[in-house]
Amino acid sequence: MRTNRPAQTLLLAIAISSSLAAAEAPATLFAVGTAHDSDTGYLLYREYHYCEQDRLLCTVEYRDTFGLIFAKKHLDYRQSPVSPALVFSDYRRGVEVRIPAGANQGVVVDAGFDNFVRSIWDTLVSGDSKKFLFLPMGFDAPFKMKAERSHASDCPPATLCLKIAVDSWFLGIITDPIELAYSRTERRLHKFSGISNIKAENGQSLSVDIHYRYDADPQLMVFPQASGLCCEPNSGSSRNTCCLQHQKVPL
């Protein structure tokens, strides 16, 4: 599992992996994100995104490889779609983070980045970049960031690939950008690659690849949600195989 330099942790703990906001009952499950270690391919955790119909009050459940909830994030978008109020609790580490509503006018806050991308969609599609202030969860001051279209050769035509980086020549040398893949038709995030806003139990940063599935996907509910989940490495492979009710489900 890769750990990252302090500068990477500080500036790129961007919470896009939680940008698919969601909420408590009577909310419904609308997305599941599966996070793998970007180096080894091992399953690290899953995100279960619940949302009310208007998607203004939201909750994300973070579950470990046994299906147990180890953290939750509550999001409130009623005052701003890009600067939500939030309460995050990590039960493993005894950490709680609060960002009040209305405290960061003109700043993109945490999970509000997903709505921000859609608000500047045409700009990004045209190839222009967009600079903005971003406040990651757990930090007191926002950072200057830049979003732009990525022209990676492996980006499919139906996908809008983006690169999110610190807007600083010097810091750009010592930090890695976040890479995102959005569906052009649905304008939904389908892949996140970079530093997760979720830390390991020992407090170290995690470099992850997260793949998302949505409520329209018939495979959405295949993901296990209970303690019946077990994970073990495949023979001769760095990827995991998950067992649910005695059936192995490739991740």
The structural domains of the chain, with segments of one domain joined by +, span: 6-250
- Taking Cα atoms as reference points, which of 45, 104, 99 lies closest to residue 73? 99
pTM of the model: 0.79
Beta carbons within 8 Å of 108's beta carbon, 6+ residues apart: 82, 83, 116, 132, 133, 134, 135, 142
| Stretch 167-172: mean pLDDT | 68
The alpha-carbon radius of gyration of the chain (Å, integer) is 17
By mean pLDDT, which of 58-62, 113-117, 214-218 is the weakest?
214-218
pLDDT of residue 21: 47
Contact 197, 114 (CB under 8 A): no
Distances (CA, A) of 81 to 60, 76, 119, 160: 16, 9, 10, 21
Q: What is the DSSP letter of 234?
A: P
DSSP string, 173-205: HHSPPEEEEEETTT--EEEEEEE-SSPPTTS--
Secondary structure string (H, E, C) spanning 68-114? CEEEEEEEECCCCCCCCEEEEEECCCCEEEEECCCCCCCCEEHHHHH
pLDDT of residue 219: 64
Q: How far apart are CA 51 and CA 32, in angstroms?
A: 12
Checking if the pLDDT of 42 tops 80, the result is: yes
pLDDT of residue 129: 98
Q: What is the pLDDT of residues 131-144, one digit of tens each?
A: 999 999 988 999 99
Confidence of residue 215 (pLDDT cuts 50, 70, 90): confident
Phi/psi at 237 (nearest 5 deg)?
Answer: -135, 150
Q: What is the pLDDT of residues 54-92, one digit of tens each?
A: 889 999 999 999 999 999 999 999 999 999 999 999 999
- Taking Cα atoms as reference points, which of 110, 112, 180 lies closest to residue 149? 180
